[in-house]
Amino acid sequence: MLSYKTLSQPAEAAIIEKKSRFIAFARPISSESEVLEFLAQLRKEYWDASHHVYAYNLRDGAGGMVRSRSSDDGEPSGSAGAPVLETLTGAGVIDALVVVIRYFGGTLLGVGGLIRAYSGAAKAAIAQAGIIEMKLCREYSLELGYPAWNRVKHLAAKYIVTDVCYGERITARFLVEITDASAFETLITDATGGLASAGAVLINIGEGFF
């Protein structure tokens, strides 16, 4: 997996359907423990709600597999958790959780009405959260002298510089998409006229999604 989409930030939205109130919470997650902690928090805060329905998509290791789970929390089977999960999946996001809390308004909605309400609330919360794309990147640390840094800064302008420390020498950190890593290393070597000859040091710090 070289990239994936997830939610930009936590958000919430609410809709009313035949006097029932549906409050949806969407948020990025990184583990099942976060799901359990957030659910416990909502159940404590909204203790008087009729249902706490949820669904999530979560990356499972580096192989790109996605683990998905949902709960109807007492609503008719397939009328709540599954529609919320389908809304998440339809938005193309993973490492994402949506919880929809329902306050019963006294009127039965039927399975079709529940599906529309839970899907609508989930969709509204996802829209509020926004969607971003995470890309697999490699982080580098580069140490070199000022003359070489001026050349590197010009030639490597397309790459993201996350930090620069000015001392007797320059120490800079770059964030490079994994697909551009080889080209970046070659560019740095060419820009310094050879790392060793320029007294420059390029270190591969590691990889991750940013």
Convert the pLDDT of each residue in 39-67 to its tens digit: 999 999 999 999 999 999 999 865 568 99
CA distance 44 to 77: 24
Give percent of the chain with pLDDT exceeding 70: 98
Nearest of 192, 5, 7, 24 to residue 121 by alpha carbon: 24
Assess whether 67 and 140 both reside in one domain. Answer: no
CATH for 194 = 3.30.70.1710
Mean pLDDT of 97-108: 96
Contacts with 195 (C-beta within 8 Å, 6 or more apart), sequence order? 188, 189, 201, 202
Phi, psi at residue 104, to the nearest 5°? -65, 130
Q: Tell which of 129, 162, 186 closes a domain.
A: 129
The rounded distance, in Å, linking the Cα atoms of 184 and 107 is 62
> Is the pLDDT at 141 greater than 90, yes or no?
yes
Q: What is the total residue count of the chain? A: 210
Residue with tokens 């000859």: 197
The confidence score (pLDDT) of residue 60 equals 83
The pLDDT assigned to 134 comes to 96
Domain count within the chain: 2
Same domain, 141 and 125: no
Q: Structure tokens of 172?
A: 């800079």
54 near 98, Cβ under 8 Å? yes
**H helices within the chain, ranges in order?**
32-45, 81-90, 110-129, 146-155, 181-191
Cβ(107)–Cβ(19) below 8 Å? yes
| Whether 125 and 140 share a structural domain | no
Residues 204, 87: Cα–Cα separation, whole Å: 39
Q: Does residue 153 share a domain with residue 109?
A: no
**Stated pTM of the model:** 0.85
**Among candidate residues 146, 189, 184, 139, the one with its CA nearest the CA of residue 165:** 146
Q: What domain range is 197 assigned to? A: 135-209
- Of 129, 149, 182, at which residue does a domain stop? 129
Q: In which band, very low, low, confident or very high, does the pLDDT at 197 lie, cut at 50, 70 and 90? A: confident
